[in-house]
Every structure is written in structure tokens, then in C-alpha cells.
Amino acid sequence: MAGIYIHIPFCKKRCIYCDFFSDIRMHLRKDYVDALCRELEMRYAELENAPVHTIYIGGGTPSQLSGEELARIFDALSLHLPLSACKEITLEANPDDLSADYITMLKHTPINRISMGIQSFDDDDLLFLNRRHTAAQAEEAFVRCREAGFGNISIDLIYGLPGQTIQGWQSNLGRAIALRPAHISAYSLIYEEGTALFRMLESGKVSECDDELSLDMFDCLIDTLEAAGYEHYEISNFALPGMYSQHNTSYWLDVPYLGLGPSAHSYDGKCRRWNVRDISRYINKISHGFNAYETEILDTNSRYNDMILTSLRTMWGLSLSRIEENFGRDMRQYCQALARPYIDTGKLVLSGDNLKLTRSGLFVSDSIMSDLMKVED
């Protein structure tokens, strides 16, 4: 099986923390959608006839697209695959875009999952983050989606904001749980270089949340959501039973995917490709029949390291049999030897044939994964 990721870079305005590729030049939308459809036509064969089970339309702000523009994309997709066979088709959306009319339009598309970028249920947090919606608008949009028949709704939250307290974070989680979304993604605020937030940090206008408080918030997140019936299936992701993000899970389970649009990445098991991070260059290249990507052929060490990085993030863990099957018995033994100190200290557990992070291991997961990786010979 395979997946397709479609990047929609358009945003009305940029959030201060976001380092995903985005563009505020809305007048380019028509040319951009035309280029997306052309790129799909040019590159669909890369999937080698694998059945496509998931489509993820991310951004940027995909909910800035009109019904006509979405229809154009789905018409192009339907020329290559039966959309009815896709198990999950996700649209990322901002709450303030989800008017009653917009949601009604979405119900007439193949989209069956909404990923809503709420980020916080505190208006002061939202103002700081430069979000366009209020907490009330987020809750109203969620209810409208649910009433329209969208049962599979995911929401995003951010914690560790400057000045945020554990009580404020608990309140956020309480309001999220009250809505009972199928899926919750929660991320610690990261100060990415090049963002407005990073410049604020450098100039002393904000201070990072201290490590102890950030860990307390992560603890609170896990305990609160698990008590509410959510499964912690990936470091930053929680779902009601059976409601995992199938598209994102495919990334962690080494499933090939095709990425369309500027900055989008693709993977076929042997190489990675990534498109240019420039909308004008992207449109120009594609419209003239040229691919807009660069390619990296993955060597054995890179593929092994990718498996470590993706598998250990999940509740399913790292299969030692897969290591042996893909890289040989010596690599399995290499991995087990490096994992032994973490097993002995309770940071990893060997469950059957799978290595898994324990609760205490989650807090130092980056170090563990780094130590299990293969350095250049």
C-alpha cells in the first residue's frame, strides 16, 4: 500500500512558531492547483501501482481552498485511483475557516477526516501564537463538524508556552476531552530558527518554558488522556481505540508515499525526494514539464537509522526481526547490544521481539534513538 501527501502552502497570516513552508500570495492559488494536478500526472507512476490507502492534505492552511479548487484536486486524483478505496482522506483546517457552508461543501467531497489546528483553548495563548481564531470559535467549529457527520476529527494542541502554567495546561486538556475528538496531537512548543518566535527569544521578549515544567506538562498530558480512554500510540499522538491517524502511522511503519507541492517529501523505500521550498519556482518547473525535486539515495546505514527513528516513536516499537530481515543478523546483534544498557536501566523493554520505550524512556527518547543509530563506518 502507499499514501499521498498534498501540500497546500497558503495562509492568511503566519503563526509565530511555524517553520512549515507557507505563502500568503493567495492570487497564485489557481496556478498552484494546476501545477499540483500536473505534478500528480507526472509522478504517479512512482508509486509502482501500489494501492493508495491514505491521502493527507496538509499545509499551510488547506481550508483556504475553495470547493472548486478541492474538486479540481480530487478530479485529478480520481483519474489515477479509486478514491472510494482510500481508507482515510484528511484535510487540515483552521477553526475559523469551518463555517456551516464550508463544512457542507466538505461533505460533498471524498474527505472523511478533519485535522483541526486548535493549538489552545486559551484566548491569551491564541493571541500570542498569532492564531486567527478564538477558543469559542474552535469549539463551535468542532461541534459543527461533528453535527455535519464528521466522526473522525483530530485536534492539535501546543504546550510549554511562555508563561503557561500546569493549571492552564490541565484546563486545555479538560476542554479538549469534553469535545471527545477521535484523535489528539500534542506538541511541546519549539523555537525553530527563522521563525518570529525564535527572533523573540533571541531579543529577550520571551523565555522558554523550563525543562522541569515541560516534563510535568508531558506527564500531565499522558496521564489525563489515558485516563480519558485515549491510547498513547506515538510520542505526540493519542487516539480513541482504533482511531489512529492511518496516514501518519504509515510514515512510522515504512510505507511508501508520494509528496506533491513545494517542500513536500516522498519516499519509496530506496530513496527520498523533496520538492523546492518556493512556490514560484515550483509552479514554473512543473508547468514546463520538469520535476521540482532533489533526490537522496538511501544507503544501508540511513535506512537502518530511519527505522530506529520512526519505529521507536510508536507503541508498537522496533521489531528486531525486521532489523534482521532488512539488514542482516549482525545489525540485529549490533542494535541489541546498544539497547542493553537502556533495558537494564528500565528505559527500554524487550517485549517479545520488539524493543519499546518505557514511560521513563519517553522523556529521553531522542538520546536513546541517537545511541541506537549506526554511525558511518
In a domain, 136, yes or no: yes
Burial class (CB in 10 A: 0-12, 13-18, 19+), 182: buried
- For the cut 90, the answer to whether the pLDDT of residue 141 exceeds it is yes
Given 251, 267, 284, which residue is the final one in a domain?
251
- Return the minimum-mean-pLDDT range out of 19-33, 34-48, 103-117: 19-33
In a domain, 290, yes or no: no
Predicted local confidence at residue 192, as pLDDT: 82
In a domain, 260, yes or no: no
Q: Do 238 and 311 have their domain in common?
A: no
CATH number of the domain that residue 365 is part of: 1.10.10
The number of folded domains in the chain is 2
Q: What is the grid cell recorded at 334? A: 549490533
Measured distance CA(66)–CA(72) in Å, rounded: 10
Q: Quick check: helix, strand or coil at residue 294?
A: strand
Q: Do 219 and 332 have their domain in common?
A: no
Q: Do 133 and 211 have their domain in common?
A: yes
Task: Give me the mean pLDDT over the 318-346 stretch.
Answer: 95
Q: Quick check: helix, strand or coil at residue 189?
A: coil
Q: Do 340 and 240 have their domain in common?
A: no
* Long-range CB contacts (within 8 A, 24+) of 198-206: 200/16, 206/162
Q: Do 246 and 316 have their domain in common?
A: no
143-165 pLDDT per residue, tens: 999 999 999 999 999 999 999 99
In a domain, 294, yes or no: no
Q: Do 214 and 346 have their domain in common?
A: no
Measured distance CA(217)–CA(305) in Å, rounded: 29
In a domain, 273, yes or no: no
CA-based nearest residue to 189, from 10, 29, 19:
19
Q: Do 216 and 328 have their domain in common?
A: no
Q: What is the grid cell recorded at 53? A: 490507502
Given 216, 235, 251, which residue is the final one in a domain?
251
Higher-pLDDT residue of 17 and 257 is: 257
The two counts, helices (H) then strands (E), for the chain are: 15, 15
Task: Give me the mean pLDDT over the 105-125 stretch.
Answer: 96
Q: Do 313 and 198 have their domain in common?
A: no
Cis ω on the peptide bond leading into residue 60 (within 30° of 0)?
A: yes
Residue 60 CA, distance from chain mean position: 12
Q: Do 172 and 25 have their domain in common?
A: yes
- Return the minimum-mean-pLDDT range out of 1-10, 21-30, 319-328, 338-347: 21-30
Predicted local confidence at residue 377, as pLDDT: 55
Residues constituting the chain: 377
In a domain, 293, yes or no: no
293-324 pLDDT per residue, tens: 999 999 999 999 999 999 999 999 999 999 99
In a domain, 278, yes or no: no
Q: Do 50 and 188 have their domain in common?
A: yes
In a domain, 367, yes or no: yes
- For the cut 70, the answer to whether the pLDDT of residue 88 exceeds it is yes
- For the cut 70, the answer to whether the pLDDT of residue 74 exceeds it is yes
**Residue 141, domain extent:** 2-251
CATH number of the domain that residue 161 is part of: 3.80.30.20
Q: Do 226 and 87 have their domain in common?
A: yes
Give, as one character, the DSSP assignment of residue 200.
Answer: H
Q: Do 216 and 331 have their domain in common?
A: no
Task: Give me the mean pLDDT over the 29-36 stretch.
Answer: 95
Higher-pLDDT residue of 1 and 32 is: 32
35-71 pLDDT per residue, tens: 999 999 999 999 998 999 999 999 889 999 999 999 9
12 — pLDDT class (breaks 50, 70, 90):
confident
Predicted local confidence at residue 196, as pLDDT: 84
229-280 pLDDT per residue, tens: 999 999 999 999 999 999 999 998 889 999 999 999 999 989 999 999 999 9
End-to-end CA distance of the chain: 33
Predicted local confidence at residue 376, as pLDDT: 64
Task: Give me the mean pLDDT over the 129-138 stretch.
Answer: 93
- For the cut 90, the answer to whether the pLDDT of residue 16 exceeds it is no
180-228 pLDDT per residue, tens: 999 999 999 988 888 888 888 889 898 888 989 999 999 999 999 999 9
